[in-house]
Amino acid sequence: MRVCSIVGARPQFIKAAVVSQALAQAGIEEILVHTGQHYDIQLDRIFFEELDLPVPHVHLGVGSGTHALQTGQMMIRLEAALLELQPPPDWVLVYGDTNSTLAGALVAAKLKLPLAHVEAGLRSFNRHMPEEINRVVTDHLSQLLFAPTQTAVENLRREGITQGVHLTGDVMLEAVRTYAIVAQRKWSLGQLIPYASGTYYLATVHRAENTDNPVRLKGIFEGLGRLDGPVVLPLHPRTRARLDGSIQIPANVKLHEPVGYLAMLLLIQNARAVLTDSGGVQKEAFWLGVPCVTLREETEWVETLEGGWNQLAGTDPDRIAAAARARPLGHPVSLDIESASTHIVRLLQETPR
């Protein structure tokens, strides 16, 4: 059996690393295709090295661009690459909700190659997010839909998708479990930042809806400036590009290069609280028992809101500061089912195509 995995952006490298290991253990041949959506060392190569991902068999080298340009280039190059694969793959596997996911799904569907989606069924119900469009289209084209949560299964059912839907659990939880221990062996906090455990906040900001709206971006930085301690902010290049002088960086906000996954896990684990608009970081904070403030009006990961472990604060400075002061109740409880990657691989093997 041959599986063609399509990746391109930071969170996909993490998800694919876990599945890739399970595919190898099952003796399944994997062809890894990298679209080139992310290409800076700190967003790309560092993940391949730290997570032992195989070198991509095909690198499409697409890079950045507008949505149509980027997705279109990916589709053109991907179609040629998939047609060259002989024998054709038994499954094309796409991850998450980026433009690389969308391009992979459209090309596979048009070439009539069986398509499977890891992290299916997530919805923000906000069509202003490019990710929401990518998810909806990908889910409607997939034959196998690996839902990480029961909420995701329900979302799909409401859209009339019930065939091929499986509650597999979350490959990112597996990644956290595996690599949090590796991270502690590789790094000590002092090697990364000059702050002790529990004395700093960790923030990430990269969502287009925040970076591309000066009012929202200003609100976020003002909110971070009101926190009672240093805020470590590994900065996504999209956000750095928007810091053109019109946004004041408060003195307590410490800008940092994007970090690798291992360093990131350690930074989350030791933070007083996390403030983020990332999907993955909300979940990681929850799983690691660190309070999270989400810098958005909605979340796809509604389970994390339980007990106040994750709070939606949007981009209003007052709401951000108040949410960071609040203390959650009890302990975060995560959905804990069979290892997601093993489940996914078994379904790929057993599902007739």
Active-site residues, by number, are 206
119 binds ligand UD1 (CB under 6 A): no
CA 152 to chain centroid? 16
337 binds ligand UD1 (CB under 6 A): no
Side-chain-side CA neighbours of 18 within 13 Å: the count stands at: 23
Classify the phi-psi angles of 164: left when phi > 0, otherwise alpha if psi is within -120 to 50, otherwise beta. left
Question: Which residue number, 143 or 276, has a Cβ lying nearer to ligand UDP?
Answer: 276
What span, in angstroms and rounded, lies between the C-alpha atoms of 57 and 285?
33
Q: What DSSP assignment string belongs to 300-332?
A: S-GGGGGGGSEEE-TT-HHHHHHHHH----S--
104, 169, 230, 279: which one binds ligand UDP (CB under 6 A) = 279
Residues between 284 and 303 that touch ligand UDP (CB under 6 A): 284
123 binds ligand UDP (CB under 6 A): no
Question: Which residue number, 113 or 176, has a Cβ lying nearer to ligand UDP?
Answer: 176
> Tokens representing 107?
């090309």
Beta bridge partners of 342: none
Cβ neighbour number for residue 128 with a 10 Å cutoff: 9
What span, in angstroms and rounded, lies between the C-alpha atoms of 111 and 107?
6
Beta bridge partners of 254: 232
Question: Which residue number, 80 or 249, has a Cβ lying nearer to ligand UDP?
Answer: 249
Question: Which residue number, 9 or 23, has a Cβ lying nearer to ligand UD1?
Answer: 9
50, 131, 222, 303: which one binds ligand UD1 (CB under 6 A) = 131
What SS3 class is residue 39?
A: coil
210 binds ligand UD1 (CB under 6 A): no
Residues between 226 and 265 that touch ligand UDP (CB under 6 A): 234, 258-261, 264
**What's the sign of the alpha-carbon dihedral 104, 105, 106, 110?**
positive
What span, in angstroms and rounded, lies between the C-alpha atoms of 247 and 287?
33
* Smallest separation (angstroms) from ligand UD1 to the CB of 9: 4
The item of ligand UD1, ligand UDP, none sharing an interface with residue 37, based on CB under 5 to 8 Å by kind, is: ligand UD1
Residues between 99 and 118 that touch ligand UDP (CB under 6 A): none
8 binds ligand UDP (CB under 6 A): no
99, 101, 134, 204: which one binds ligand UDP (CB under 6 A) = 204
* Smallest separation (angstroms) from ligand UDP to the CB of 294: 11
The item of ligand UDP, ligand UD1, none sharing an interface with residue 14, based on CB under 5 to 8 Å by kind, is: ligand UDP
The item of ligand UDP, ligand UD1, none sharing an interface with residue 204, based on CB under 5 to 8 Å by kind, is: ligand UDP
DSSP E strands in 168-222: the ranges are: 201-204
* Smallest separation (angstroms) from ligand UD1 to the CB of 338: 27
Question: Which residue number, 72 or 237, has a Cβ lying nearer to ligand UD1?
Answer: 237
Q: Which residue from 281, 346, 284, 334 is spatially nearest to 307, judged by alpha carbons?
A: 334
332 binds ligand UDP (CB under 6 A): no
How many H helices and E strands in the chain? 15, 13
